[in-house]
């Protein structure tokens, strides 16, 4: 049994990771800035702390007496959020900086940092037929403005704390994680959850149209949460010192993603396209050559299989909220 801190444990990925660590027999301290009532999951037997980890003293309090840290804490969301909250996203650099300092000072053994595919050079993502981004494609640097720059800088911080202070650091670049217990409304949701919600609104409230940002031909890969959690835990325990892709290599267009969800729902909506909406790069996919070489594994849960579980969970949440307040078309819990 290890004593582990999960920073950002009140969020989507953090909640799933906390559960997996507890089920693996570890003693977990879960930390998040949100009030406990707003956490996506609260796991029995966990030491929960509500702290603002942008403050160094809070980081020291959170880490003292523990052995390992998983840093998933960040102010972020889908493309609609990160393109309109660039300063907020960059302020998250304080979290990683102060957690690293606290980790060094209290004797943390291993430190995991959750980075993002948004660190990759934008010029290498201009073609929807993206062959897959290799880890080396982050340089020369031209990441997503705001959020991507913060992630890339924080990756370098982890590297230099390893080199200068001997802190064992591991970094994974997440590619579009989705699944149950995630945000599906309110402005921070990502494409799979947003599209599921819009189809369910069509079923429950008679909406006939779906608005797709851009022309729908932009491409992405989407990783189901179970693959993400396995990858995080395996990378933490590995000897991989450089940032590594953690994502599915199953690339689809946004139009194809809508096709898949419509197939699950059993009906279609009229597609309207918003050319002025935030839409990000034209093509992004994960090249998994490096992670397969290092771990003999890569994320492999098919997108359609993961979407069925995600759709059913969101539908259950929306049905539950409609029963509680029929006037509300959407109520995103928590």
Read off the pLDDT of residues 104-130 as tens digits, 9 standing for 90 and up.
Answer: 999 999 999 999 999 999 999 999 999
User: Residue 326 — very low, low, confident or very high, per pLDDT cuts 50/70/90?
Assistant: low
Q: Is residue 321 predicted with pLDDT exceeding 70?
A: yes
Say yes or no: 117 and 191 in one domain: no
Determine the Cα–Cα distance for residues 192 and 43; give it in Å rounded to an integer: 25
**Has residue 22 been placed in a domain?**
yes
**b/e per residue 179-210 (b: at least 16 CB within 10 A):** bbbbbbbeebbbbbbbbbbbbbbbeeeeeeeb
Q: Classify residue 165: in a domain, yes or no.
A: yes
Judge whether residue 178 has pLDDT over 60: yes
* CATH number for position 127: 3.40.50.720
- When divided into structural domains, the chain yields a total of 2
Give the pLDDT mean for 292-306. Answer: 98
* pLDDT score for 86: 94
Whether 294 is covered by a domain: the verdict is no
User: Are 115 and 262 within one domain?
Assistant: no
| Structure confidence at residue 310 (pLDDT) | 98
What pLDDT is recorded for position 328? 53
What secondary structure letter does DSSP report for 286? Answer: B
Say what percent of the chain tops pLDDT 70: 97
**Do 215 and 226 reside in the same domain of the chain?**
no
- Enumerate the active-site residues: 147
| Residues 152-166, mean pLDDT to the nearest whole number | 98
The CATH number that applies at residue 263 is: 3.90.25.10
Q: Are residues 8 and 145 in the same domain?
A: yes
For residues 89 and 149, membership in a common domain is answered with yes
Residues 110 and 150 in one domain: yes
Whose structure tokens read 């523990």?
66
Task: Judge if 130 and 103 occupy the same domain.
Answer: yes
Using DSSP, state whether 106 is helix, strand or coil. Answer: helix
Query: Which of 76, 96, 97, 71 lies closest to 86, judged by CA?
Result: 76
pLDDT in tens, 4-63: 999 999 999 999 999 999 999 999 999 999 999 999 999 999 999 999 999 999 999 999
Task: Indicate if 169 and 191 belong to the same structural domain.
Answer: no
Instruction: Give me the half-sphere count of Cα atoms (radius 13 Å) on the Cβ side of residue 197.
Output: 25
- Please report whether residue 290 resides in a domain: no
Task: Judge whether residue 146 has pLDDT over 90.
Answer: yes
Same domain, 43 and 105: yes
DSSP state of 178: E
**pLDDT (0 to 100) of residue 333:** 37
Q: Which domain holds residue 275?
A: 181-220+250-285+302-324
Separation between Cα atoms, residue 211 and residue 197, nearest integer Å? 12
């Amino acid at each position: 049994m290890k004593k582990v801190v999960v920073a950002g444990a009140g969020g989507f990925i953090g909640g799933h990771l906390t559960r997996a660590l507890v089920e693996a027999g570890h003693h977990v301290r879960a930390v998040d800035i949100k009030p406990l009532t707003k956490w996506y999951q609260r796991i029995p037997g966990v030491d929960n702390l509500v702290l603002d980890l942008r403050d160094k003293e809070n980081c020291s309090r959170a880490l003292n007496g523990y052995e390992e840290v998983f840093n998933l804490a960040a102010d972020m969301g889908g493309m609609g959020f990160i393109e309109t909250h660039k300063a907020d996203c960059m302020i998250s650099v304080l979290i990683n900086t102060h957690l690293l300092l606290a980790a060094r000072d209290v004797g943390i053994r291993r430190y995991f940092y959750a980075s993002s595919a948004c660190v990759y050079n934008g010029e290498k993502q201009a073609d929807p037929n993206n062959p897959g981004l290799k880890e080396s494609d982050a340089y020369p640097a031209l990441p997503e403005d705001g959020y991507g720059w913060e992630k890339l800088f924080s990756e370098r911080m982890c590297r230099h704390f390893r080199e200068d202070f001997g802190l064992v650091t591991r970094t994974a670049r997440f590619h579009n994680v989705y699944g149950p217990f995630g945000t599906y409304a309110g402005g921070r949701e990502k494409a799979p959850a947003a599209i599921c919600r819009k189809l369910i609104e069509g079923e429950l409230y008679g909406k006939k149209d779906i608005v797709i940002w851009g022309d729908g031909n932009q491409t992405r890969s989407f990783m189901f949460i179970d693959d993400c959690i396995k990858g995080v835990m395996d990378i933490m325990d590995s000897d991989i010192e450089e940032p590594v892709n953690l994502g599915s290599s199953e690339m689809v267009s946004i139009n194809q993603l809508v096709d898949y969800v419509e197939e699950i729902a059993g009906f279609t909506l009229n597609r309207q396209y918003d050319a002025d909406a935030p839409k990000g790069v034209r093509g992004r996919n994960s090249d998994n050559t490096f992670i397969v070489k290092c771990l003999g594994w890569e994320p492999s849960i098919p997108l359609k299989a993961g979407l069925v579980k995600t759709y059913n969970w969101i539908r259950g949440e929306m049905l539950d909220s409609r029963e509680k307040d029929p006037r509300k078309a959407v109520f995103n819990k928590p």
